[in-house]
Amino acid sequence: MKINEKRLWNHIQKLGQIGKASDGSVTRFPFTKEDEAAAVQLKKWMQDAGLSVAADACGNIIGTLKGADPALPPVVCGSHFDTVKEGGIFDGCLGVLAGIEVLQTIREAGMQPQRSLMVIGFRDEEGNRFGYGMIGSRSICGKVDADGLQTLDQDGITLAQAMKQAGYHPEQYAACRITPLKAYYEVHIEQADVLAAQGLSVGIVEGIAGLVRYTITIHGRSAHAGATPMHRRHDPVTAMSRWILRMTELAQQQPHTVATIGEIHTYPGACNIICDHVSFSLDLRSLDDSIRSHILHTMQEFEKTLEREQGVRVERCLKQQLPAAMCDEQLKQELESCCETLQLPILRLASGAGHDCMNFQDVCPMAMIFVRSQHEGASHCKEEYSTQKDCAAGCQLLLEALRKYL
């Protein structure tokens, strides 16, 4: 069996027109008219593929190719179809459309799977509108936090209100859970340039990095910039600089580990005043949770040095923490065998970005296929791009992986 490459590509391009701005970027925030238009289009394509189609209480769009034994736990594939603000057309959407294409190819071949195969378009993976994120895959996996439904967008609308306005039933989120599940597969663009550097179309994801996010505040003493000698200063900015450099060094020493300082604020923030205090963000990610813990412990000791040497005080405020999610080893080995069958080179690589499949890690075996990103891994922007042939290669690999369920 071979997927219809042209059909897949046409679907990617057509879905990318929904929410598209004049500059070529795409914005589809969850539970907006653009998001609903995309949901309608996905339903139509699922119906065209011969699948039974439903939308659950949280708005997930579910297409099912019924198996010979409906009592067997189903296999799920999919991804999300919302976008970030001014994003691209491939992030998330490729995984949903690849799933539809694979199930349509199986049906057109006249084959019935042993167990049901499902493709799901998940709602609100990005979390850009409400800040909660992954409401769709959380609901499927039984991991919705009721407090998350009360998070607000910039207009003061809660996630639950937006879902109701779109015609869904957030109070029934528990009914969205699908259990038990046999396995979960997700095709996704890499959003980095590892595959491009190796000249490869696809890769097998080893796992998804866990993360911690902190706001770090360093308290010093405000003083006159001209009248205070250097040796008499309690300058939080120089302490922050040393902190950032040390964190960078520690992250560089470890495999599959990255540290990012994305926000910096100085107070009071004038050119002729030594700052009273500074605050900045830390996003620390690693495929190995123990490495992340080791770095944080090492930094805690370094903070004591800063406090002693510079007369400052360091505070940390934990904002978010997620454990690493390793993909299932057996499924990874099976994907390697599928690559050999398709004469595709084999490469395992880590994912630094979070994905819907993280929610499946303790629900069922999960696997993830990366498709090469162009333009130095550009993503979450209009320059995001993967070629038609690379998208088809990822989709064909998914089909090969699902053959064992036929």
CATH 3.30.70.360 domain residues, the chain:
210-322
- Please give the CATH superfamily to which domain 5-208+325-405 belongs: Zn peptidases (3.40.630.10)
Any bridge partners for residue 370, and if so which? 188, 203
Do the Cβ atoms of 381 and 21 come closer than 8 Å?
no
The strand pair at 366-371 and 183-189 is best described as parallel
Do the Cβ atoms of 78 and 395 come closer than 8 Å?
no
CATH 3.40.630.10 domain residues, the chain:
5-208+325-405
The pTM of this model reads 0.89
CATH of domain 210-322: 3.30.70.360
From first to last of the 406 residues of the chain, give the pLDDT tens digit. Answer: 999 999 999 999 999 999 999 999 999 999 999 999 999 999 999 999 999 999 999 999 999 999 999 899 999 999 999 999 999 999 999 999 999 999 999 999 999 999 999 999 999 999 989 988 899 999 999 999 999 999 999 999 999 999 999 999 999 999 999 999 999 999 999 999 999 999 999 999 999 999 999 999 999 999 999 999 999 999 999 999 999 999 999 999 999 999 999 999 999 999 999 999 999 999 999 999 999 999 999 999 999 999 999 999 999 999 888 899 999 999 999 999 999 999 999 999 999 999 999 999 999 999 999 999 999 999 999 999 999 999 999 999 999 999 999 9
Of 280, 137, 144, 148, nearest to 208 by C-alpha is 137
How far is 66 from 60, CA to CA, in rounded Å? 18
Q: Quick count: other Cβ atoms within 10 Å of Cβ 47?
A: 12
Of 81, 63, 71, 80, nearest to 117 by C-alpha is 63
User: Phi-psi bin for 236: left (phi > 0), alpha (psi -120 to 50), beta?
Assistant: alpha
What pLDDT score does 365 carry? 98
How far is 235 from 219, CA to CA, in rounded Å? 8
What pLDDT score does 286 carry? 96
How far is 269 from 216, CA to CA, in rounded Å? 17
Q: Which residues contact 212 (CB under 8 A, 6 or more apart)?
A: 282, 283, 284, 292, 296, 318, 320, 321, 322
Do the Cβ atoms of 215 and 269 come closer than 8 Å?
no
What pLDDT score does 321 carry? 86
Distance of CA 394 to the CA centre of its chain: 18
What pLDDT score does 131 carry? 86
